Structures are given as C-alpha cells and as structure tokens.
Structure 1
Amino acid sequence: ASYDDDKNLGIAANVAYDIVPGLTITAEVDYVNVGDSNWTNADDDDAIGGLLRFQRSF
C-alpha cells in the first residue's frame, strides 16, 4: 500500500500457490485512486488491474 501528500492511493495484493513442486501460480490485483495530481493521464480517478503469473523451476 502507498499514499502520498497529493492523496494518491495505491494498493496491491497477491497470492502465490504451488500447484506441484516446481510450478507456482501467482495472482495479483492492483488498485489506484488518483488524488490531487493526475499523474496517470487517465479520465477516471479509480483504476484496477491484475496479472496471473505461471512460474516453472527446473
């Protein structure tokens, strides 16, 4: 989580799960709320994003 003097808020959360030994899947969700300075150049003040990562170790 992050917050600054311009009232910008950012939150990220993730979960990693080992399917089998050597194979990990990680899911992440990100949220941002733009405060007084719109550094994202987006039309909306709120944004949400995410990712899904597959990692194989040999």
Structure 2
Amino acid sequence: NVGHDKIVYYSRWNPPWEFRIVCDEACIAIIISRASLIFLGFLAIYLFKKHFTNMIMST
C-alpha cells in the first residue's frame, strides 16, 4: 500500500503508543524568538528606568 508506506516512512511520524517530545525547526525558532523578546523587554524597561530616574512609578 503506497499510502501506508508514505505515512510510515515520514521522518516526523511517531506511533501513538510512543510519546516523545519532538521539537522541529519551527519549535526552535519560536523558543529563540520568545526568549529574545523577553530579554529585549527587560532591557527596554531597565534602560527606561535608568534614563528617567526622577519618574515615580507606582503600581
């Protein structure tokens, strides 16, 4: 069966009974972009607070 062989030989196919966390290129790109955006956010807040030292921030 050609359709069955195509599914079985798919490199990212895992049988339902075999649970593995698979992180492909898109997953890695999302993780890197999220980490860099969090870092840039903290850096922007730090620089903003450093530049405007006399501003009172209340929450």
Q: TM-score range by the shorter chain?
A: under 0.3
Higher strand share: 1
CA radius of gyration, larger in: 2
Higher helix share: 2
- TM-score scaled by length of structure 1: 0.22
Greater relative CO (CA pairs within 8 A, separation 6+): 1
- TM-score scaled by length of structure 2: 0.22
